[in-house]
Amino acid sequence: MQELQTPESEGPTTTRIRFVSHNVPESAKQSDTLEEEPSSTTAKAEQRVKRSVIKRFVMVNPSPRTPPVAPVDHLSSCLVTLLEYGPEGGTFLQKSPIRYIPRRLSRSNPVVVDMISLFCSVWTDHCHQQPPSQVTSRRYDIALRGLQNAIQKLPKGRADRAQMIDTLTAITLLQKTQPLLSREADPSWGVHAVAIKHMMIEMGPPETDDSFEAALVKENRSLLIRNRLAGGPEVDFLNESPWKEAMVRLGTEDWLVDELEPFGSEDCLKLELRTPRMQDWVDYIGRIRAEGPFTEEMRDLSAIVIHEMLEHADLLRRTIGVTTKALLARGTMVVKTDPNESVAFMRKSYSFTHASAAAMLCNLVSVQVIVLRSLYEFSVMYDEVPDETLYKEYRDICGHIWMVISYLHTLKPVTGLAMLGTISVTFEAAVGEEREKVIDIVNHLDSYLLRFNKDREKISEFLLHVCKAVTGRVPVHGHLSWITT
């Protein structure tokens, strides 16, 4: 990576001093060809994040003189740098629509430009292990006001497609930055979720030849599904034509990283499309418990929910087994042993070559955790003797997530933060030292934002509430939404 500086001059010059690193990755050489000293604060963020080491300086005689570079080009270069050299090698970004933005930014709406400016500033702060700077705070205010105005100006009828795509892009970027900006849930996320749903319905499925639209829709489909589990708007439209057919097509396309290909199977797609139904189950279970489980109406409703959950559990067993074998065969996931570890589930652990693979496997397994615990609670509710076989399977599947804990400790907290929700839903199954291990990893994942301030009792209470909320035993509070975003 190279960093360029030029001395100030009042008039034209034919010779300038440029500092050059001769130890530059080829990809960086291609993307970093700027000749002028950046004059904007945006460009300064780009310079900081590169962390270049200046080897020596040489005299250069550019001919012809390079015209000044527009601020939007500096932003594009900064974003490229983040994608290539950001946290964990950018793995959390490379399967998102963000990778397509640099070449689209020059023709994007100002709301996207402002949000990219915020995005680069936030991640630059993080790369330097610093809290959000004053510059970042100012950019947040500008970007949020611009996004709110863009949402308010969307026509109630069919809006301009490009306008909707840019607004949807800005919301997506905000969800990528929000976890680093606040210790609380984003109060505007509920509004944004409604706007995302509205724009996706109005836009219709992505055009088949537009990779950016396809990636944008897939990203926001996942956001809406996770938000639905935190009490957000229903997303039944995803299971209806023409979206249903489009989701099947998109589910098997565009796996940028080979290690993630096992998650593109047809069964994985079926599970994702069924995920919103889980919120219906939570609502039904809450109603059954509130109105009395032994009335005829509630018994009938229980039978429907149990049947659907059993089918879902069978699909999950098969998919988790096939996916795990594929990851092991590829070497994406490796089993490590530590016979000296005092806690049983830590004697074997999983390690991964790709952080995204760990996150996606944990997400898959955590759904099975929720389903099995819900089915066990039905046995507690209706049977004189709870189903201990079901409880054992539930604890065993939690162990698969606990086996990822050692790997999570090797990640930067912000990268592992995406797996906080999957860890949380296992807490009720943990006992003794197992609970301490779960609290330890939550503390690690929270060490950047400090939502819990290291209070282990507070963490324990929060995690137990999460476990009960996702199985319909207590209401879902809005502040739980940040573990799903």
Which pLDDT value is given to residue 125? 81
Domain ranges, ordered by start, for the chain: 1-69, 86-256, 265-483
Amino acid at 397: I
Largest CA distance in the chain: 90
Per-residue pLDDT of the chain (485 residues; tens, 9 = 90+): 433 333 333 333 333 333 333 343 343 334 443 333 344 444 444 454 444 333 333 333 444 444 444 678 888 888 887 776 655 544 455 457 888 888 888 888 899 999 999 988 888 887 776 777 889 989 999 998 999 888 887 766 555 788 888 999 998 888 778 767 765 555 566 777 888 888 888 888 887 678 888 888 888 887 787 777 666 778 888 878 888 888 777 765 544 456 678 887 888 878 877 877 888 898 899 999 999 999 999 999 999 999 999 999 999 999 999 999 999 999 999 999 887 776 666 788 999 988 888 988 998 999 999 999 999 999 999 998 899 999 999 999 999 999 999 999 988 777 777 788 899 999 999 999 999 999 999 998 887 667 777 889 989 998 999 999 889 998 865 445 445 44
Q: How far is CA 403 from the centre of its chain?
A: 21
Distance separating alpha carbons of residues 385 and 370, to the nearest angstrom: 21
Which pLDDT value is given to residue 5? 38
Distance separating alpha carbons of residues 197 and 193, to the nearest angstrom: 6
Spell out the long-range contacts of 200-207 with Cβ–Cβ below 8 A and sequence spacing 24 or more. 200/168, 200/224, 200/237, 201/237, 202/158, 202/159, 202/164, 203/161, 203/164, 203/165, 203/168, 204/242, 205/242, 205/243, 205/245, 205/246, 206/246, 206/250
- The answer to whether 438 touches 463, Cβ cutoff 8 Å, is yes
- The answer to whether 382 touches 327, Cβ cutoff 8 Å, is no
pLDDT tens digits for 437-449? Answer: 999 999 988 876 6
- CB count within 10 Å of CB 85 equals 17
Distance separating alpha carbons of residues 151 and 331, to the nearest angstrom: 44
199 torsion bin: left (phi>0), alpha (psi -120 to 50), beta (else): alpha
Which pLDDT value is given to residue 448? 66
pLDDT tens digits for 86-102? Answer: 555 444 554 578 888 88
* Integer angstrom CA distances of residue 86 from 49, 78, 191, 332, 409: 8, 10, 30, 21, 18
- The answer to whether 53 touches 21, Cβ cutoff 8 Å, is yes
Amino acid at 232: G
b vs e for 433-460, b when ≥16 Cβ sit within 10 Å of the residue's Cβ?
ebbebbbebbbbbbebbebbeeeeeebb
Distance separating alpha carbons of residues 90 and 83, to the nearest angstrom: 5
Distance separating alpha carbons of residues 297 and 94, to the nearest angstrom: 48
b vs e for 223-249, b when ≥16 Cβ sit within 10 Å of the residue's Cβ?
bbbbbbbbbbeebeebeeeebeebbee
Distance separating alpha carbons of residues 203 and 207, to the nearest angstrom: 10
* Rounded to 5°, angle at Cα 107 from 170 and 218: 40
Distance separating alpha carbons of residues 345 and 342, to the nearest angstrom: 9
Distance separating alpha carbons of residues 167 and 62, to the nearest angstrom: 40
* Integer angstrom CA distances of residue 238 from 63, 200, 205, 224: 55, 10, 10, 10
Picking from 376, 379, 413, 380, the residue whose alpha carbon sits closest to that of residue 396 is 376
